[in-house]
A = this chain, B = another copy of it.
Amino acid sequence: MRAEGLQRVTMRRLAQELDTGPASLYVYLANTSQLHAAILEELLGEVDLRPADASGDWRQRLVAVLESYTGVLFTYPNLARAALVARPTGPNYLALIEAILALLHEGGVPDAQASWGVDLLLQTATATAAEHAPGDGRPGADADAEADATARAEFHAVATALHAVDPATHPRIAAASGTLIAGTPGQRHAWALNAIITGTAATPLPPVSAG
């Protein structure tokens, strides 16, 4: 769980760091998912929750908390990918949920909608961080450099595909080509969070049976 080089957390690596065989870990953990969840929960301690208790516009403070969360996951994108599958349940995760719920409450968002909104906000933030994870690349590669190169190549591929589109068959894409891939990733993420906050405040829950 050290904060050194956990770019690529694996059972075998951790075991080696602990000077033992990989089998030993299975005394404490059932599988790799649990390992990832445990490390993520640890990392969640780095999320800056202070905006929740600060003063000022509740929306901006909520976005700040969510961007801090995204920033932490950005540093460890492989964990972000894992976080989509196995969410942690420890105290740091609960503190994060509490902070988000409190800010939505402060903003007058009904509790029921806020309950589902917090999940959607965290899912989006997690997915955004996960997107920047390198693929299943070769073991020895520099993860950062590879992710960068992949992102660049992908951006180019998407841009090319969009500009090559026939306006006759894809009129909406042609009409939107100016904005489809505009903006920095940071601008787009901030916009997405704001859109979800607005949507959460405006969208009532369907009739549901209590969990």
A17 within 8 A of B: no
Task: List which A150-181 residues lie within 8 A (CB) of chain B.
Answer: 150, 154, 157-162, 165, 169-173, 175-176, 178-181
Pairwise interchain contact A33-B150, C-beta atoms closer than 8 A: yes
Query: What separation, in Å, do the CA atoms of A179 and B112 have in the docked complex?
Result: 6
**Nearest chain B residue, comparing its CB with the CB of A190:** B206
Q: How many copies does the complex hold?
A: 2
Contacts of A150 in B (CB 8 A): 33, 85-86
Pairwise interchain contact B195-A202, C-beta atoms closer than 8 A: yes
Query: What separation, in Å, do the CA atoms of A76 and B157 have in the docked complex?
Result: 24
Query: What separation, in Å, do the CA atoms of A123 and B128 have in the docked complex?
Result: 8
A9–chain B nearest beta-carbon distance, Å? 11
Contacts of A97 in B (CB 8 A): 173
A70–chain B nearest beta-carbon distance, Å? 13
A47 within 8 A of B: no
**Nearest chain B residue, comparing its CB with the CB of A173:** B98
Contacts of A84 in B (CB 8 A): 81, 84, 127, 130-131
Pairwise interchain contact B206-A135, C-beta atoms closer than 8 A: no
**Nearest chain B residue, comparing its CB with the CB of A102:** B172
Contacts of A98 in B (CB 8 A): 169-173
Task: List which A108-124 residues lie within 8 A (CB) of chain B.
Answer: 111-112, 114-120, 123-124
A196 within 8 A of B: yes
